[in-house]
């Protein structure tokens, strides 16, 4: 396995529509997935899409940290989806903070559908089908957007919340201090 270079916003591969994987059990696909997993772990990400490692094919990997799951929801271990498909189950959306390994150091508030169903093939060629809510649904939508050449800023409704994570954290701390002063 090897750690791959990650493409950053501005590279044209991140704006392309990725191709379907024809043979989901091909050895080269397995190797790519294993390299993607190693790359995601190395960069402390929670999701990664193949175009981010310069491969314009429809593969995503993701996990959902336990603390991000709602009450009664199962922990989602590291999942690979080859040729993923999303079905929106509710038009209801919610805003949440997102970051992306292709926009290092930046975050923004992004609206996403709250309830989806998704499917795709595992690294062993087994069909996975799940329903997802909230954060779990958000991660899958973010990663699948990469396969259609879309990065999260283009989903944002208010670019005022887009910025460098250290600046946003600083201003949040300042805001918090000001609120306390007013108490």
Positions in the binding site for Ni ion (CB under 5 A): 100
Q: Smallest gap, in angstroms, from Cβ of residue 129 to Ni ion?
A: 23
- Which tokens in the block code for residue 139? 């991660």
Q: Which of 17/176 has CB closer to Ni ion? A: 17
Q: Which of 52/83 has CB closer to Ni ion? A: 52
Catalytically annotated residue among 38, 143, 167, 172: 143
Q: Which residues contact 135 (CB under 8 A, 6 or more apart)?
A: 64, 68, 69, 70, 96
CB–CB of 139/45 below 8 Å?
Answer: no
DSSP β-bridge partners for residue 81 = 60
Q: Is 73 a catalytic residue?
A: no
* DSSP summary character for residue 69: S
Q: Smallest gap, in angstroms, from Cβ of residue 100 to Ni ion?
A: 3
The answer to whether the Cα torsion of 166, 171, 172, 176 is positive or negative is positive
Q: Smallest gap, in angstroms, from Cβ of residue 38 to Ni ion?
A: 17
What residue number has its CB nearest to Ni ion?
Answer: 100
CB–CB of 61/101 below 8 Å?
Answer: no
Q: Which of 81/100 has CB closer to Ni ion? A: 100
Q: Smallest gap, in angstroms, from Cβ of residue 48 to Ni ion?
A: 7
CB–CB of 60/147 below 8 Å?
Answer: yes
Q: Which of 32/100 has CB closer to Ni ion? A: 100
**H/E element, 157:** none
* DSSP summary character for residue 21: P
Residues belonging to the active site: 143
């Amino acid at each position: 396995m090897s750690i791959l270079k990650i493409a950053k916003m501005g590279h044209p591969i991140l704006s392309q529509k990725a191709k379907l994987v024809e043979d989901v059990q091909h050895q080269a696909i397995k190797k790519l997935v294993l390299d993607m997993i190693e790359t995601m772990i190395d960069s402390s990400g929670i999701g990664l899409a193949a175009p981010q490692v310069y491969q314009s094919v429809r593969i995503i990997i993701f996990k959902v940290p336990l603390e991000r799951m709602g009450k009664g929801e199962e922990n989602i271990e590291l999942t690979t989806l080859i040729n993923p498909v999303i079905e929106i189950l509710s038009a209801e959306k919610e805003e949440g903070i997102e970051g992306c390994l292709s926009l290092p150091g930046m975050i923004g508030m992004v609206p996403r559908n709250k309830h989806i169903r998704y499917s795709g093939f595992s690294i062993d060629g087994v069909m996975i089908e799940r329903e997802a809510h909230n954060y779990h649904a958000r991660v899958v939508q973010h990663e699948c957007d990469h396969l259609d050449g879309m990065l999260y800023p283009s989903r944002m409704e208010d670019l005022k919340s887009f910025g460098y994570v250290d600046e946003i954290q600083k201003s949040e701390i300042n805001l918090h201090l000001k609120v306390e002063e007013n108490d």
